Structure formats: C-alpha cells, structure tokens
Amino acid sequence: MIRKRTIVFAVELAFLLGCLIFFWQRFRELGRGEEGSYELYDRHYVMITGREDSDFWDRVYESAVAEGKKRGAYVERFGEDLAVEYRRNDLLKMAMQASVDGIIVPGDEEEETIAILQDIVEQGIPVVNVLQDSTGSIRQCFVGNNSYNLGQDYGNQILNLLAERENAAGTDGGTKEPARVLVLVDENRTDTSQNLILLGIRETLENAGENADSVSVETSPVDNSRGFSSEEAIRDIFLKAGKLPDILVCLSAVHTRCAYQAAVDYNKVGIVQMLGYYDSDAILEAVSKNILYSTIALDTEQMGRLCVQALDEYMETGYTNNYMAVDTQLITSEEAGRLVQER
C-alpha cells in the first residue's frame, strides 16, 4: 500500500519536474532570434549568382555549403536577401568591401568584370569562376564543364535527330530540305563558353559529313537582362510561322523550360525537336514524356564542392588548379524516366 502510494507520489513529482524543466528550456530558447543556435566558422566565402537559373544555382550552392561546413568555412549566397537587386558586379564590389575570405562567381569577359576581379584578387581575396569563366582575369580557378565537349555532346544528339529525320523522310519519300538547327544563346553572356559550344556543335556536324545543304546551324540571341524577357523571346520563335527550327538547342535551364512550355502551348511537340540543359524535375519530366529529345546536365554537387575545395586550397597553399572540370551527363528519355522515379 505504502509502496503504491510512494510510486504515485514519485511519478507526480517527476512529471512536475519534467514540466518545469521543459518549459524553462522552451522559454530560454524563445525570443532569442539571431542569437539562436548557430555555428561559427573560420572562413567566410560568398557565392554570387544571378537570379536566373535559381534552381540550378540552388543546387550548386547547397553542395558548396555542405562542403564548406565540412572544411570549417561558411558559404554565403551574397546579396540574396537584400531589399535591392544589385548587379553581379556591384555585389562583387560589395563583397570585396565587406572583406570576405573568398568569392565564387560565374564570370564573363566584360572589361568591368575583369577589372573588378583584378581589384578583388589584388586585395588578397581569392576568386573562383564557376560555370562561366573570365579568362582575361586573374581569378584563381575556373570550375565548370568543358564547353567544347558540351558542344560535341549536343552535336551528337543533333546527328541522332537528323538520322531519325532522314529515316522518316525516307519512308515518306519527301524532298530533302536542309535541317534547321537553332541554338538559343544568352545575349548577355560575354564569356566564350557559348562560342565554344557552338564550335563544338558545328565541328561535330561537319566531321560527321553534314554540310550547309543538309543542316544549318543558327543562333537566336535571347535577352536575359530584363525580367521575363527570355520567355517572351523564346515564344516569339514559335510564333514566327514558317520559320520554325527543326531542332532547338537550349543552353540554360530557364531557356529549356520556356522552350518546352511554348512547344506544348503552341502544339509544336514533335515538330520542333528540342535538346535541353539541366536536370530539374520539370525538365526530366519533359524528357521522359519526349517533349524534349534529351538534356545535358552538369554535376551540380561536384561543381559546388570543387569551388570550395579550390578556395580552400588557395587559402592554405597559395596555389590552386587553374581549371577544374565538372562532369556532364546526357539524359535521354529512358534515363529521365528512371531518374524521375528515383526522385
């Protein structure tokens, strides 16, 4: 009897103490806001990207942050939460003035950019160009894919498409017109990567024996400078009746999404064969449904990781590789279906 009463008493006491301790802890955590749980790091790197292709850059950033945390460095998405949308070069300057420990930024060949990068490096802040290179600058490293190789990949896909087209024409017995390949290029991109891609495509086609009679490779500049302008420019292509390309090559995730959405909206799926870029869920879905013929994806995880590794290497040794290659992956319809299921 006494034992039972003691147990009840003890349980009540324990419950009470538990409640009190729980609420004490809870209220101690409350209202702390910025002083809440956080960790300190030795180095402060920043990553500056444009607002376009946010999905792609988000994945690169996640990988960079994860790698940084392992190495005692925190990677900040600089300027992201600011009330004003600054140009990349302004953000670069600000990062320099804020005395960060390292900068990851997609480069270009603009003089202004090269000058700013020069200033930054001179201030002792290492810079890694990611995806796009500023070859004229004294940045420490470029982390990205080999654009020429990428062009070759696209070229091979175009050849596949041309072969299928020829087979179809053969069975139809129709006249053979030169196939029209339209590559969407970013008007604002001043780096050489797009040119190298185009070169890769053209040389691959030529090497395969295609000439101007059988295939024409054209570019269509898309203006990214204003908000939503790229989407409008791509829709314009579909609206120009009679001038529809046979094959549309997209070199960015945004262009890819705009293009396949426009193809669906204007009922041009199958009429315009499209080659995409990047492997977001939506793009994979489109590939698996054969709206896109294929897509080429960069290994974003590797890209983010290599950026931080390059910065750390430079911080520790004063040297780093000038170029670090990121793997690309060609995703066809079958693979896309598998990937969609996996995710």
Element (H, E) at 23: helix 2-29
Q: Which stretch binds other proteins (CB under 8 A): 1-9, 226-234, 271-279, 327-335?
A: 1-9
DSSP state of 35: G
Of the pair 97, 167, the CB lying nearest other proteins is at 97
Q: Which stretch binds other proteins (CB under 8 A): 67-75, 184-192, 217-225, 239-247?
A: 67-75
**Chain centre distance of CA 19:** 49
Residues 6+ apart with CB under 8 A from 76: 44, 45, 46, 47, 100
Shortest Å distance, C-beta 33 to other proteins:
5
Q: Residue 23, interface with other proteins (CB under 8 A)?
A: yes
DSSP state of 269: B
The first and second tokens of residue 28, run together, are 């101690």
In angstroms, what is the C-alpha Rg of the chain? 26
Shortest Å distance, C-beta 11 to other proteins:
11
Q: Residue 44, interface with other proteins (CB under 8 A)?
A: yes
Element (H, E) at 199: helix 193-207
Shortest Å distance, C-beta 337 to other proteins:
37
Q: Residue 5, interface with other proteins (CB under 8 A)?
A: yes
Q: Residue 61, interface with other proteins (CB under 8 A)?
A: no
Shortest Å distance, C-beta 13 to other proteins:
7
Of the pair 6, 322, the CB lying nearest other proteins is at 6
Of the pair 17, 271, the CB lying nearest other proteins is at 17
- Distance in angstroms (rounded) separating the CA atoms of residues 279 and 254: 11
- Distance in angstroms (rounded) separating the CA atoms of residues 78 and 91: 7
Of the pair 76, 246, the CB lying nearest other proteins is at 76
Shortest Å distance, C-beta 92 to other proteins:
12
Of the pair 84, 212, the CB lying nearest other proteins is at 84
Burial code (b: 16+ CB inside 10 Å, e: under 16) for 54-78 equals ebbbebbbebbbebbeebebbbbbb
Q: Tell me, residue by residue from 264 to 303, as one string, x for binding to other proteins by CB under 8 A and - for no binding.
A: ----------------------------------------
Q: Residue 228, interface with other proteins (CB under 8 A)?
A: no
Q: Could you tell me if 336 and 276 are in contact, meaning their C-beta atoms sit under 8 angstroms apart? A: no
**HSE on the CB side for 150, CA within 13 Å?**
29
Q: In this structure, how many other beta carbons lie within 10 angstroms of the beta carbon of residue 243? A: 10
Q: Could you tell me if 157 and 216 are in contact, meaning their C-beta atoms sit under 8 angstroms apart? A: no
Q: Residue 15, interface with other proteins (CB under 8 A)?
A: yes
Q: Residue 38, interface with other proteins (CB under 8 A)?
A: yes
Q: Residue 33, interface with other proteins (CB under 8 A)?
A: yes
Q: Tell me, residue by residue from 69 to 98, as one string, x for binding to other proteins by CB under 8 A and - for no binding.
A: x---xx-x-x--xxxx-x---x---x--xx
Q: Residue 319, interface with other proteins (CB under 8 A)?
A: no
Query: With CB under 8 A, what is the number of residues at the site for other proteins?
Result: 43
SS3 152: helix
Q: Which of 120, 115, 67 is nearest to 306 (CA)?
A: 67
How do strand 294-298 and strand 215-222 relate by DSSP bridges? unpaired
Question: What are the residues binding other proteins (CB under 8 A)?
Answer: 5, 8-9, 12-13, 15-16, 19-20, 23-24, 26-27, 30-34, 36, 38-44, 69, 73-74, 76, 78, 81-84, 86, 90, 94, 97-101
